[in-house]
Structures are given as structure tokens and as C-alpha cells.
Amino acid sequence: MMVFFDTNVLIYALCQNTDNIEQQNISVRLFEEAILNKNIILSELILCEFAFTSKKLKEDEININQNLKFLSQFVQLNKHDTSKRILEIIENSSLYNSSFDIFHLAFCECNNCKLITFDKGFKRFEKLSKTELVLL
């Protein structure tokens, strides 16, 4: 099964200015496994979130750009009607403030992949989607 990493996992796997060595070690291991197994999939939105968060963490711009180029090779362009699924989830949940996370959830559902994250807030989505959530 393909795996989709939430932004926080990618930040810990690739950035220098992180604050939790345990989460960094977990992220690096999972990320390297996914690359070796060729079962990683990312969305274009993840690239935007990664760039924003990396800059906020004051990462070196050269490193940010190199990481974005590297990550872009795993981007799956949207072939499905993900937007329809996003609207369904939002309508049924009223979780408007979580629209970026809902995009990730719908993307994973439409691409039949599991979502891996440190964000415990994703627990609230468990009943809204058939996407397998791995909360680290």
C-alpha cells in the first residue's frame, strides 16, 4: 500500500531545525523505508505546506529548495475528483478550520493510501473516511 506523509513527518525527516530527536528518528526511518519500498505518494499541497513550515523554522533556503525538488518526484497529480470528496467531508463534519487536513484525508482516500502523521488531531477524522490513519 502507498503511504502519504503529513507535513510534520516530512519536516522531521528532512529539516535541521526541529525540536524532537525521537520524532526525527522515527520520521527518517519511515521516510527512508517508503523510498526504498517505492511506496511513497505526496500531493502538491504537501509541497506548499512543507515550504511554508520550513521557512517558518528558519531553514536555509537552499535546503528548502533542494528538499522541495526531491519531494516533488513523489507527487501524484490529482486524477480523481478529490474536490468532491473534500466537500462531502466538510459538509458532513463542519470542520471548516481543518480543510487542509481534510484535503490530505480525501487525497489519501482517492489514491488508496494510508496517511502517517504525528498530529493527534487526525483522530477526529477516523469515522469520516475509510483512509487508514497511522498516528505516531
Give the global pTM.
0.92
C-alpha cell at 136: 505516531
Locate all alpha helices (DSSP H) within the chain, ordered by sequence. 7-14, 21-37, 44-56, 61-72, 82-93, 99-110
CB atoms closer than 10 angstroms to residue 87: 13
Residue-number span of the structural domain to which 94 is assigned: 2-135
CA distance 131 to 85: 12
Give me the CATH number covering residue 57: 3.40.50.1010
Q: Note the pLDDT tens digit of each residue in 95-131.
A: 888 889 999 999 999 999 999 999 999 999 889 888 9
Domain count of the chain? Answer: 1
pLDDT values of the chain reduced to their tens digit, one per residue, 136 residues: 999 999 999 999 999 999 999 999 999 999 999 999 999 999 999 999 999 999 999 999 999 999 999 999 999 987 678 888 888 889 888 888 888 999 999 999 999 999 999 999 999 988 988 899 999 9
